[in-house]
Structure 1
Amino acid sequence: MGGERRGEPEHTRSSDTPEVSGTEFRSYYGQPVLNQIVWEGRDIAGYLFLGGLAGASSGLAAGADLTGRPDLARPLKYTALGAVSGSLVALIHDLGRPTRFLNMLRVFRPTSPMNMGSWLLAGYGPVAGVAAVTEATGLFPRTGRAAAVGAGVVGPAVATYTAPLICDTAVPAWHEGYREMPFVFVGSAAAASGGMGMLTAPLDQAAPARRAAVFGSALETAAVARMEHRLGMLAEPYQSGRGGALMRTAKVLSLAGAAGALLSGRSRVLSAVSGAALVAGSACARFGIFEAGVRSAADPKYTVVPQRQRLREKRAASER
């Protein structure tokens, strides 16, 4: 997997004082400390975004069904099926062959985020499909309602399991963000599904979507800010370069969409525009997180400096 360690990091040619600005950290023979990420950005970042959109849409659709909002539930069921299908296509395209995904289902390993994610997708996809197809055809309504509830129950896990999945790698910007990343993904998924509901549902039934959008935007923004503050130097890939540009765009779109959600109770146009901004902001956040991880894996300093810092802290603690 991209970002896995080559073994223990080699001694570097850089200074023993990692705080020196502008120091270039290299391992022996100019090799990077970590294997470079080989995942395709459009595949894996798309997989992260679409999975979040699918799972959260199912949860919101189930709630809409239970509260008598069919014009909100219907498009969200279609969204969930389309998004999970796209997510699976992106994942299988990255894996290279469909059989590689099926091979993941040969074992059940609760300690493996990748294995658990494969089982979640395998269980969620069919029920999301049944919920959408029965909604479209009007056939077997009881089966459709049961499937919608099932998808709504599993959906939140589908929307968020990718956070521990990427944090379980050795990629510094992901691994060290393990505390806040699940909240970032929950917020991003909620904002995207809420935005899709605002984009597709009539105003009189879209109130739950507006609430989900505002909640998701606030949670995502707060979690990203907290993560960047805590990570220190490791926040650089989230704040500069391509990853930084995407994260800033995500923040602007998300906050603008949330503001629109608060004001769009009487304007169908404002509701649709705000919803589109929220969906786009969620996508930018997932792609920004991916790009930040790529950059942190490519630059040895993001591995070497934190390791040296932890070593100094352990030595200082042992000398007390």
Structure 2
Amino acid sequence: MSPRQRGDDGGREQRMVPRAEFRSYYGRQILKSPVWKDDIAYYFFLGGLSAGSALLAAGGDLTDRPALRRSGRLGGLVALIGGTYYLIADLGRPERFHHMLRVAKPTSPMSMGTWVLSAYGGALGAAAVAEVVPARWRRLATLTRSTARPAGLAAAVLAPAVASYTAVLLSHTAVPFWNTAKDELPFVFVGSAAASGGGLGMILAPRDQAGPARRMAVLGAVAELAAEQRMEGRLGLVGGVVHEEKPKKFLTAAKVLTAGGAVGAALFARRSRTAAVLSGAALLAGSLCTRLGVLHAGIASTKDPKYVVGPQREELAQQEQLAQRERLSAPGR
């Protein structure tokens, strides 16, 4: 054999047999699949919708758009209450959420997410109360309205963290799809939250006040679709799960609905109330399908051993190649 010939592992010796294909013991799963049901995807969606609505409400407050402010605050609070219901349903016991507030652990996405969500809920609730207190209750109305703007702005500051912490929570697991997509998943969730919040604003606010909602919907949809495209191009072997039946169904629907809603918001929603409602509904449905697609793609990635072991082998091979290049480039070689 020529000394310049190398094997497929970079060494100087040729392999006499092909590399073995990995198979798990009796074809069984290596990782246990997450026990989450679709309820947790509904929680992810409603939390993102609430965050997007709160951000839009703060903008409506600062730009003197009372209908947009009111719809954002009340819509965001209703979404947050709905999301809390699905979170508690998934936990099984409501006190489990309360127990998370016993400690604050900066290295734990779950712990930090619980504290952020609690602070956000209090601020958004305080802002939303001002929208429903009757004017005849003068003292209470004066008190709530004086605190509504600071509370609304505080909720808007916390909104990006509320929209993204669930993505960070997913990516800090051993589930191959979620872990491999850790760099893009927060951007997907934040973009989706902005698109859904803008979509709800387009539905609830009159057209003459819904300009910020249309712009946020379009920008959020573009950011979400761009992040998804980059994510799928970077997944490598794990990317095969997005072509499996259930994830593909939801993720394809999410792209079609989000793109369609963005086009409608950009081109037609300003001139037609019907177009605004339809575009907003498409964006809401697309955001929900995104969360369902991500959930089921993660579950599917635990069921096939190749998605578990393959990325680990690729990473080890890259590390070996890097180490070999460093040895060859070292002085004196």
For 1:297 and 1:174, how far apart are their aligned partners in 2?
A: 10
Question: Residue 319 of structure 1: SS of its match in structure 2?
Answer: helix
**TM score, norm. by length of structure 1:** 0.90
Question: C-alpha offsets along residues 243-294 of structure 1, whole Å, 9 cap, x if unaligned?
Answer: 1111110111111111111122111110111011001100110111101001
**Kept after mapping to 2: 8 A contact 1:26/1:32:** no
Higher alpha-carbon Rg? 2
How many residues align? The count is 299
- Amino acid in structure 2 at the alignment position of 1:101: F
User: For 1:267 and 1:30, how far apart are their aligned partners in 2?
Assistant: 56
Contact 1:52–1:185 (Cα < 8 Å) also in 2: yes
The separation in 2 between residues aligned to 1:182 and 1:170, in whole angstroms, is 17
* Pair 1:80-2:72 in alignment: no
Kindly indicate whether residue 74 of structure 2 is the aligned counterpart of residue 69 of structure 1: no
Q: Tell me the alpha carbon deviations over residues 35-74 of structure 1, each in whole angstroms, 9 at most, x when there is no partner.
A: 2211122x21111111111111101101110100011111
Question: Counterpart of 2:172?
Answer: 168
Is residue 222 of structure 2 the alignment partner of residue 255 of structure 1? Answer: no
Residues 1:142 and 1:313: Cα distance change in structure 2 (over 3 Å): same
C-alpha separation between the residues in 1 aligned to 2:91 and 2:66? Answer: 37
Q: Does 1:152 align with 2:156?
A: yes
Rounded Cα–Cα distance in structure 2 between residues aligned with 1:105 and 1:16: 51
1:27 to 24, 31, 48: 24
- The equivalent residue for 2:273 is 268
- Structure 2 residue runs of 5 or longer lacking an equivalent are 1-17, 135-140, 326-333
**Correspondence 1:205 to 2:213:** no
CA distance in 2, matches of 1:26, 1:199: 51
Secondary structure of the equivalent of 2:123? helix
2 CA distance for matches of 1:188 and 1:17?
A: 42
Shift of 1:304: 0.9
Show the 5 A alignment for 1:1-320. 16-18=19-21, 26-41=23-38, 43-138=39-134, 139=141, 140-263=144-267, 264-320=269-325
Residue type matched to 1:28 in 2? Y
Q: TM-score scaled to structure 2, two decimals?
A: 0.86
Find the aligned partners of 1:57 and 1:27 in 2 and give their Cα distance. Answer: 46
CA contact (8 A) 1:239 1:247 kept: no
Q: Is the contact made by 1:39 and 1:94 (CA closer than 8 Å) also made in structure 2?
A: yes
How far 1:169 sits from its partner (Å)? 0.6
Deviation at 1:238, TM superposition (A): 2.1
Percent identity over paired residues:
51
Give the aligned residue type for 1:63. G
